[in-house]
Amino acid sequence: MKPPASINNEWYKDTIFYELRIRSFYDSNGDGIGDIKGLTQKLDYLQDLGVTTLWLLPFYPSPKKDDGYDIANYCAVDPEIGTLGDFKKFLTEAHRRGLRVVTELVLNHTSDQHPWFQRAQRAKAGSADRDFYVWSDTPNRYTEVRIIFNDTEKSNWTYDPVAKAYYWHRFFSHQPDLNFDNPKVQQALIHALDFWLALGVDGLRLDAVPYLYERDGTNCENLPETFAFLEKLRAHVDKKFPGRMLLAEANQWPDDTVRYLAGGNKCQMAFHFPIMPRLYMALAREDRFPIIDILSQTPPLPASCQWGIFLRNHDELTLEMVTEEERDEMWAFYAKDPRARINMGIRRRLAPLMENDRRKIELLNMLLFSLPGTPILYYGDEIGMGDNIKLSDRNGVRTPMQWNSDKNAGFSKAHTKRIYLPVIDDYTRINVEVEQNDSLSLLSWTKRVISLRKKHKVFGRGTCTFLEPENDKILAFIREYEDERILVVTNLSHNAQHVALDLSKYHELTPIELFGKTTFPIIGKTPFILTLGPYAVFWFSLEKSQPDTDSVTLPDFLKKSRWFGGKGRMIEQIQVSDNVVNVTYTEGPSERYFVPRILVKGEWVDAFQSPAFCRSLLKMTKAPIRASKIRLLESEQSNTSIIFDDCYILKVYRKLSEGKNLEKEIGLHLTQKMRFPNTPKVVGFIESNPMAILHEFIPNTKNGWELACEALQQGKKFLSEAKLLGKRTAELHIALSSDTKNKAFSPEPYGSLYQQSLYQTMRNQAGITFRQLRRGLSALPSDMLKLATKVLDSEQMLLARFSELRTLPLRSHRIQIHGDYHLGQVLYTGNDFMIIDFEGEPSRKSSTRTIKRSALYDVAGMLRSFHYAATSTLMKEEDAKKRTLLSTRAEIWYRTISREFLTAYINTAGNASFLPADPAEFRLLLNISLIEKALYEIGYEQNNRPSWLRIPLSGLIDILERDSP
């Protein structure tokens, strides 16, 4: 069993620990006790959470009077929770998921049930067996030594009636200390270490490591002998198991703790005990001093070493590393109820300590994830689990993990009475399942922080410099590593605060807030002013204002692709798996795109360039077709189409979506059911993502757009074409609305509710488009600025027009329409038009596209397209004189063919229910549709082709002018 593939010798610097108790995690066999198999079943959860190292509390045979830290056999598994075989399987499964595993090596003591102790009790005084432990005839030795479990123990010596002597113990009296002066003891423990590392465990937590030796006249902590032993242990590990890690549990002041890492030849990691209570203290006092003060007393570490930092763990929140006054202050603040106090600390979990205030929980977590060191999460704290101070010892923070709202919080199927510790009673509200389904839950938030943390090596490896703003309630520091710089600003106060930060060293850099990717004003030489809400935290990446453009990245590639619909949106994250790129934005829903690609000379190239790839797609449609000539359709926009032998065209959807494919449904309805002749036949499709439709290809055609532009350039009329187009459009609508038996294609009345919602939709769209337009004003050239201002000035008028949708009862029917109808969607065969592409506007969700609408929306689409053709032809003319001439001609052209098209449409539709009979209704629906189209175009052009923005702006003005009474 090997550790995860990459032997990265300093993996512990970039990892995220998750500390858990197997007995509390998940019970797979319903006996009321969590077990190894149960943990193995929950590995997917841990992987999804994003943690990368699991630290397992002791799981060895033990009387469990100290929750397993009282070991009775070092090289076996407690039968209550499984077998060694289960553990091996667990380890393989964890490693397969890239999770490392750290277990416990309890060096200092064993249980009094350990055979070594029982042998020692009976062995002759002075023999090697007896000397496995520390004996004395008097309890008056080592009197300077403190008592750690001072609530239960009165002395560190206990008299043993069998041995007729006192034995030494730093913890409970049932936990005799091993005697490290005896070489056999050292050998026995190295044997235990070999046993677990040989199985593949990635690291060991050395429990209670400061107390290994006893020497007269000292406090028996941090003795030179202990460091010598650790050097020996480390040399052994490096030789036999390179890459494995030793973590020191030394609850000491920084100067002493650092000695466990000194020289880089002892442990690689040590917990930073003193910082922990100070995080709570700083929050209670609303003052950054305790944190900065302790870190300034922390000596630098050898390059290969790392701190482990934590907020909570399986023990009490220890207050050993604070002053007496501070301990009183902390108890008074965080443990008013005396039952919450134990030994020198507080037995509570994070959420109750924070009074379940999400802002404070998040604040401490943000510090945990951004201060120097590797963060260690305690199981259950990611969901905000509570505690139970009525339970004995530290059991109140060791209760079963809360998975769902079922009996026993889904932890175990056993009868509730048989659960080893009672579940916390708020579990129906606080559990994994509930929180997984809630994007705003603490769990979801924790996942986001973890994933953000993992993206920036600087957090695990960077230097840390504290800023000293005048406002003491603000804790601000800068982490730096290679070319990454992150600024962390925290408001420790329950009130809003402002702060002026001296960032002059970083002037000309731009702070980008990491969660939302929001850009803040560029840093100047004067103080950087920030306002922070209560308990607010910011993580800013300080970036060079000019982004590097040397290498072609995936986002660049996406932005260059015409089918990418997210150009106007701020990308938060891009995840690639197989051929699918998942794009999350800072706002709004995420999108998935089908992006098969190959890397050629450092540049991403679309796999569609490869004929073999295209052929494999054709095969997937299951159509009995073989192709020899393959080409891509050049005018393609939102998708990619492949043409096979000029006979078939396969349209492959770039944007993946759930739900049914409307284009396929409509295609089958029109060609198979209605036998509508003016659309190409559907001959096959790929149903699941990627979705694709295979149609007959109509060769040697021009599309309506090319045809219209050509006519415009050559000064040709377009009358008969426009007339034919009007007729075919009406026929299409008839075909889409006359199968009254099929709910998907039968006409529906409007109703006042729908009218109201239509009004609201229009209003929203106008509001958003206007806002965007207003923001972009400064970037517009002067002539466009004039148009844009005029459009913006018309807002009230527009809203008034929309408002009629609420008052005029609509009598016509709404139907399934084409949805994205324009000149590019009709092919001219020489004497007729074929209508294609029933996908709808690409930016709309497929479920929205099935909502029936006014047929006049398609009509408006075509009219807008005529206007586009006329205006864009005009835009190409560089000569100003010619342009004026053209402009009059274009305008006449546009008006004439629009009239021709409309007349033919109305005549063909006759008394179809989708055609409003009342002229006022007709006018309202047509104009509203024209406005909606123009608004959509304005939004689109502003994001994608700013130089074209002129067309919809002038279009909208024209619509409004002609519409006015």
The reply on whether position 17 binds ligand GLC by CB under 6 A is: no
**Of 70, 177, 207, 900, which is the active-site residue?**
207
Is 249 one of the catalytic residues? yes
> CB–CB of 823/703 below 8 Å?
yes
Residue 450: CB minimum distance to ligand GLC, A: 24
Residue 173: CB minimum distance to ligand GLC, A: 12
Residue 36: CB minimum distance to Ca ion, A: 9
Paired residues of 136 in beta bridges: 166
> CB–CB of 716/700 below 8 Å?
no
Give backbone dihedrals phi and psi of 91, rounded to 5 degrees, phi first: -65, -45
Q: Which is nearer to ligand GLC, 177 or 858 (CB)?
A: 177
Question: How does 771-792 read in b/e, with b if 16+ C-beta sit within 10 Å?
Answer: eebeeeeeebeeebeebbeebe
Q: Which is nearer to ligand GLC, 244 or 314 (CB)?
A: 314
Taking CB positions, which residue lies at the least distance from Ca ion? 35
Q: Which is nearer to ligand GLC, 70 or 435 (CB)?
A: 70
Question: How does 892-924 read in b/e, with b if 16+ C-beta sit within 10 Å?
Answer: ebbeebbebbbebbeebbeebbbbbeeeebbeb
Residue 29: CB minimum distance to ligand GLC, A: 26
Q: Which is nearer to ligand GLC, 209 or 925 (CB)?
A: 209
> CB–CB of 553/622 below 8 Å?
no
Of 400, 423, 396, 287, nearest to 337 by C-alpha is 396
Tell me if residue 866 falls in helix, strand or coil: helix
How far is 773 from 794, CA to CA, in rounded Å? 13
Residue 583: CB minimum distance to ligand GLC, A: 44
Binding-site partner at residue 315 among Ca ion, ligand GLC, none, CB < 5 to 8 Å by type? ligand GLC
Binding-site partner at residue 27 among ligand GLC, Ca ion, none, CB < 5 to 8 Å by type? Ca ion
Query: What 8-state DSSP symbol labels residue 915?
Result: S
Binding-site partner at residue 35 among ligand GLC, Ca ion, none, CB < 5 to 8 Å by type? Ca ion
Of 155, 125, 132, nearest to 142 by C-alpha is 155
Binding-site partner at residue 594 among ligand GLC, Ca ion, none, CB < 5 to 8 Å by type? none
> CB–CB of 135/158 below 8 Å?
no
Residue 193: CB minimum distance to ligand GLC, A: 17
Residue 207: CB minimum distance to ligand GLC, A: 5
Q: Which is nearer to Ca ion, 35 or 214 (CB)?
A: 35
- 82 is written with which tokens? 């499984």
In the block, tokens 């994205």 appear at 820
- 326 is written with which tokens? 């501070």
Q: Which is nearer to ligand GLC, 269 or 486 (CB)?
A: 269
Sign of CA dihedral 412, 417, 419, 421: positive
Cα-to-chain-centroid distance, residue 407: 30
Binder of ligand GLC out of 17, 69, 116, 213 (CB under 6 A): 69
Binding-site partner at residue 171 among ligand GLC, Ca ion, none, CB < 5 to 8 Å by type? ligand GLC
How far is 105 from 196, CA to CA, in rounded Å? 9
Query: What 8-state DSSP symbol labels residue 82?
Result: -
How far is 488 from 501, CA to CA, in rounded Å? 11
- 296 is written with which tokens? 């300034």
Q: Which is nearer to Ca ion, 418 or 559 (CB)?
A: 418
Binding-site partner at residue 208 among Ca ion, ligand GLC, none, CB < 5 to 8 Å by type? ligand GLC
CA dihedral 505, 506, 507, 511 (to 10 degrees): -150
- CA distances to 26, 79, 416 from 30, rounded to whole Å, are 9, 15, 11
Taking CB positions, which residue lies at the least distance from ligand GLC? 69
With vertex at residue 648, the alpha carbon angle to CA 647 and CA 653, rounded to the nearest 5 degrees, is 160
Q: Which is nearer to ligand GLC, 315 or 932 (CB)?
A: 315
Residue 891: Cβ-neighbour burial (10 angstroms; 0-12, 13-18, 19+):
middle
Count of residues near ligand GLC by CB under 6 A = 7
- The angle, 0 to 180 degrees and rounded to 10, between the axes of the packed helices 950-963 and 919-944 is 160
Q: Which is nearer to ligand GLC, 278 or 314 (CB)?
A: 314
Tell me if residue 465 falls in helix, strand or coil: strand
- 248 is written with which tokens? 């020191």
- CA distances to 72, 121, 133, 193, 947 from 127, rounded to whole Å, are 21, 11, 11, 25, 94
Residue 44: CB minimum distance to ligand GLC, A: 28
Cα-to-chain-centroid distance, residue 964: 49
- 954 is written with which tokens? 């002038």
Tell me if residue 727 falls in helix, strand or coil: helix
Binding-site partner at residue 214 among ligand GLC, Ca ion, none, CB < 5 to 8 Å by type? none
Is 207 one of the catalytic residues? yes
Tell me if residue 169 falls in helix, strand or coil: coil
Q: Which is nearer to ligand GLC, 66 or 839 (CB)?
A: 66
Residue 148: CB minimum distance to ligand GLC, A: 8
List all residues 6 or more positions away from 956 whose beta carbon is below 8 Å from its beta carbon.
Answer: 791, 794, 931, 934, 935, 938
- 552 is written with which tokens? 């072609």
The reply on whether position 315 binds ligand GLC by CB under 6 A is: yes
Q: Which is nearer to ligand GLC, 314 or 723 (CB)?
A: 314
The reply on whether position 66 binds ligand GLC by CB under 6 A is: yes
- Interface mask (CB under 6 A) for ligand GLC, residues 162-181, using x and -? ---------x----------
Q: 203 to 262, contacts with ligand GLC by CB under 6 A?
A: 207-208
Binding-site partner at residue 31 among Ca ion, ligand GLC, none, CB < 5 to 8 Å by type? Ca ion
Cα-to-chain-centroid distance, residue 450: 8
Q: Which is nearer to ligand GLC, 248 or 366 (CB)?
A: 248
List all residues 6 or more positions away from 688 whose beta carbon is below 8 Å from its beta carbon.
Answer: none
How far is 226 from 861, CA to CA, in rounded Å? 82
The reply on whether position 145 binds ligand GLC by CB under 6 A is: no
The reply on whether position 202 binds ligand GLC by CB under 6 A is: no
Residue 186: CB minimum distance to ligand GLC, A: 19
Residues that bind Ca ion (CB under 5 A): 27, 29, 31, 33, 35
Residue 112: CB minimum distance to ligand GLC, A: 13
**Of 27, 66, 249, 362, which is the active-site residue?**
249
How far is 792 from 958, CA to CA, in rounded Å? 14
Q: Which is nearer to ligand GLC, 343 or 510 (CB)?
A: 343
How far is 119 from 437, CA to CA, in rounded Å? 55
Residue 208: CB minimum distance to ligand GLC, A: 5
Binding-site partner at residue 29 among Ca ion, ligand GLC, none, CB < 5 to 8 Å by type? Ca ion
Residue 401: CB minimum distance to ligand GLC, A: 18
Residues marked active site are found at 207, 249
Binding positions for ligand GLC, rule: CB under 6 A: 66, 69, 171, 207-208, 314-315
